[in-house]
Structure formats: C-alpha cells, structure tokens
Amino acid sequence: MRVHWEALTNQQRAPADEGFAYFCAPRAKIVFAIQLYLHNHYMRHCDSAGALLTWIFDSLMASEQTHPHIAAGDHEAYMEYALEQARHSPPAPTKFCVGAVLVDADKNEILSTGWSLELPDNNPADPGKTHAEQCCFIKVAQKYNLPEERLCEVLPQNTILYTTMEPCNKRLSGNKPCVDRILALKDCIKTVYIGIKEPENFIDQNVLIVGRQRLQDAGVEVVFIQGMEDRIMKVSLAGH
C-alpha cells in the first residue's frame, strides 16, 4: 500500500505547476491522491493494506449503526426490537438468548443494544459470559470511557431498559448479576420493561422473585409487557 514517487508513471506524477490540468487529472492521479492522503493520515496505524481496509470498514460500520424509528411510548415495539437483538445470540442449552435495548425516554432515542454473549468475556475486572443488559451497559461505558457503575454520569435521568427476559438475580458462575448492575444505575434507569420471567432451568424461582422485588424496593419500576411471551420464550430457549 505504501506509495513511492519513483515507482509512479509519468502520467501519475503531477507537477505542481501543471495548474488546471492537474485538477482535471485522470483516475490514476485521483487514486494516487487518495492513497497519499490515507498514507499520511492513517497508515501509521496500519501495517498493511488489509488492516487499512479493516479500519475503514470498522469506522463505517461504527458510524452507520442505525436503529429503527419507534414511536415514543410504544413499549411493545421496543420489546420487538429487543427480541430482534435476542435472535442474534448463539443458541446453547447452557444459557438463554436474551436481547436488550436502552432508551432515552425523554428524547425517545435508542442509546444502546445488547444480546447474550455479544461481547467477549475477557475483561479481568468483570469476568464471565456477557448478558444482554450487561452488553448494553458495556457499550455505553466504552463510548464514554467510564466504568459501568458510573454510567449515570452520561445516561439521561429518564432511561428505560427493555429486556426480553427479566434481569438475572443470581449467576451460577458467581459473576455480577444484572439486577445488581441495574441497581448501581438506579438514579438514571427508572423503568425496566420485561418480556418474560426467567424460567427455572438454572435458578430457583424464589431467587428470581427476590430479584424483581429488589428492583422495585430501590424505586426501579418493573413492567411486564403482555402478549409476546410465547415468541420470546421460543427465542430464549433456542438450543435447549
């Protein structure tokens, strides 16, 4: 990818005094100008053309992440979008496929999305498989370079969390449950909309009830969306 002036043909070389003709340059000159620009600005970070293309692709993907427009207060539609996230989660008998969406309720703006195992589990400070709600939080934390528990410094005061399955209150791995993660953000996450209760496949129902109660006791409103249970359960149990 490195461009050497000596290697260029006479046609590609563009003398500075060529004037107007230079701006009417053939395609080779334009390509050269782009190559030179990329070389000067970005190649210092990329050791190969492949790495450069990957960088460009990743940049475009990051800047073009779009969400559907959902009418303000259409909680069923937001839950549908959370279910869409859940479908990305790889099916497995040892987990549920859950999706989550974080929304600024005042501006009706989607802030983050997540699904089970979306992000790697290689954070030594927070080990274990990543849950959907957790992935929502990690993405915002990475964006603002903040620890997860300080996200209320950047999240709106009226943030809603939609999750297809109720946030976990206990993890067999011993890692931090999502209820604890939400409680740490209770000053900005005021409401959690839930698609279904957690099935008792892994955790006793009594523990799950306590999880819901802990949220409500802390002032976090817990609302169950009605009418999508069968479809959400089917996605949740993919791989079981």
Q: Which residues are catalytic?
A: 133
Region near Zn ion per CB under 5 A, out of 11-19, 109-117, 170-178, 228-236:
170-178
Q: Report the C-alpha gap between 114 and 146 in whole angstroms.
A: 18
User: Contact between 131 and Zn ion (CB under 5 A)?
Assistant: yes
79 vs 168 by CB, closer to Zn ion:
168
Nearest to 100 by CA among 85, 89, 119, 122: 85
Question: Residues touching Zn ion: how many (CB under 5 A)?
Answer: 3
Q: Report the C-alpha gap between 146 and 156 in whole angstroms.
A: 15
**Which of 70, 119, 168, 215: binder of Zn ion (CB under 5 A)?**
168
User: Contact between 178 and Zn ion (CB under 5 A)?
Assistant: yes
Q: How far does CA 186 lie from the centroid of its chain?
A: 20
Q: In the complex, what is the shortest distance from the CB of residue 175 to Zn ion, in angstroms, rounded to a whole number? A: 9
Number of neighbours of residue 136 by Cβ within 10 angstroms: 29
The DSSP code sequence of 123-141 is -TTS-SPPPHHHHHHHHHH
Region near Zn ion per CB under 5 A, out of 67-75, 127-135, 145-153, 156-164:
127-135
Q: In the complex, what is the shortest distance from the CB of residue 217 to Zn ion, in angstroms, rounded to a whole number? A: 19
Q: In the complex, what is the shortest distance from the CB of residue 107 to Zn ion, in angstroms, rounded to a whole number? A: 26
Whether the CB-CB separation of 236 and 199 falls below 8 Å is answered with yes
In the complex, which residues of this chain contact Zn ion (CB under 5 A)? 131, 168, 178
